[in-house]
Amino acid sequence: MDYNDDYLFDDPVTSEPDVDQYPPGNYTPGEGPFYEDDQDDDYSEPSQPAETPEDYLTQLLKSRGVDRERVRIENENGEIEEWKFDDLDDETKFGILNQSNDMLSDDEITAVNFLRQNRMNLQDFVEYQRQQAIKEYLEQNSTPQYTVDQVSDDDLFRFELQDQMPDLTDEEIEDQLNRAKENESFFQKKVAALRKEYKELEDKQIKANEEQAAAEKEEQFNQLAQSLVSVARDTEEMNGMLLDDQDKEDVLSFLLDRDANGQSEFYKLFSDPKALFKMAWTMLKGDQAHETYTQYFTNEIAKARRGTKT
């Protein structure tokens, strides 16, 4: 996700180039930089600019499912890091460009691209498939529990009659119930139709509640995202280090970009005890540790300048 779409960190463009200005020179009628042939009066469409080598490289990377701005590389510690393709060393670039899709089927290529686009590893993908399978199984095999199923046939008939004719007395309702039950087949059909109607109404209400809950959750997420973007825009440095636009983009992406399971990289930390402990320590002790390191090196530099032996 590009959190710089609204030019949050860019200066606005204040002027447009003057495309109608002729280059310097003296021209006679029928001559000039916009005439390819002074003797030819036929108008011809301007030729389209040719694609640059950079465009071809981007297309080549896309054909291999590689995002030029975010290449996932495993480091020596087995951790996945994201790099811009242009920042990689030549050997790594060659390895990426040299990879071939010839041995992969269309389904395999789709699967690889799905993992890359959703920033998922195999474990994440397995969990995603497991959750999808559980969801489908429950939808196909579970029996919905309806409130109307807890109501007896007689009470359902009474309720419907009272709803249609609010002025009826209890005695009149009981009289109508007894009359209806004299024809048992009719009574059962009437009750079955009522149950079906109320179940459909309950299904609609459940769906509406789920959609409302999802919309509220998404709204909360969007508000959080806006708040984080605002903080990123206003934060110029962190622990003495200046932050550029890419630094801010990386942090926002880590916090907010969600995979197919709806989880961000930050959210996944909560299932990793080591990462969770490290994050908590950094929050509690990080500033103090940074201050200690800074003070130590400041003293060392001061000693060196004074020529003091350590």
**Interhelix angle for 184-234 vs 170-181, to 10°?**
120
The whole-angstrom separation of Cα 116 and Cα 108 is: 12
Asked if residue 214 is part of any domain, the answer here is no
Specify the pLDDT at position 153. Answer: 92
Specify the pLDDT at position 17. Answer: 45
Asked if residue 34 is part of any domain, the answer here is no
Specify the pLDDT at position 32. Answer: 45
- Is the pTM of the predicted complex or chain greater than 0.95? no
The whole-angstrom separation of Cα 191 and Cα 184 is: 10
Please answer whether residues 187 and 157 qualify as being in contact, where contact means their C-beta atoms are separated by less than 8 angstroms: yes
Asked if residue 254 is part of any domain, the answer here is no
The whole-angstrom separation of Cα 207 and Cα 144 is: 13
Which residue carries 């409130």 as its tokens? Answer: 147
Asked if residue 221 is part of any domain, the answer here is no
Please answer whether residues 225 and 264 qualify as being in contact, where contact means their C-beta atoms are separated by less than 8 angstroms: no
From 141, 164, 187, the end of a domain falls on 141
Asked if residue 246 is part of any domain, the answer here is no
Task: List per-residue pLDDT tens for the chain, 310 residues long.
Answer: 555 554 444 444 444 444 444 444 444 444 444 444 444 445 444 555 454 455 777 877 777 677 888 888 878 777 788 888 888 888 888 777 776 555 556 666 666 676 766 766 667 767 777 777 777 766 676 667 888 888 999 999 999 999 999 999 999 999 999 999 999 999 999 999 999 999 999 999 989 998 998 899 889 888 888 888 888 888 888 877 888 888 888 888 888 888 777 778 788 777 778 888 887 888 888 788 878 878 888 888 888 887 755 5
Specify the pLDDT at position 22. Answer: 44
Specify the pLDDT at position 201. Answer: 92
From 97, 115, 141, the end of a domain falls on 141
Boundaries of domain holding 81: 53-141
Q: What is the DSSP letter of 211?
A: H
From 120, 141, 162, the end of a domain falls on 141
Asked if residue 276 is part of any domain, the answer here is yes
Q: Which one-letter amino acid corresponds to residue 52?
A: T
Specify the pLDDT at position 299. Answer: 84
Residues paired with residue 70 on neighbouring β-strands, in sequence order:
67
Q: Which one-letter amino acid corresponds to residue 238?
A: M
Asked if residue 74 is part of any domain, the answer here is yes
Total domains in the fold of the chain: 2
The whole-angstrom separation of Cα 251 and Cα 245 is: 10
Asked if residue 290 is part of any domain, the answer here is yes
Which residue carries 């969600």 as its tokens? Answer: 258
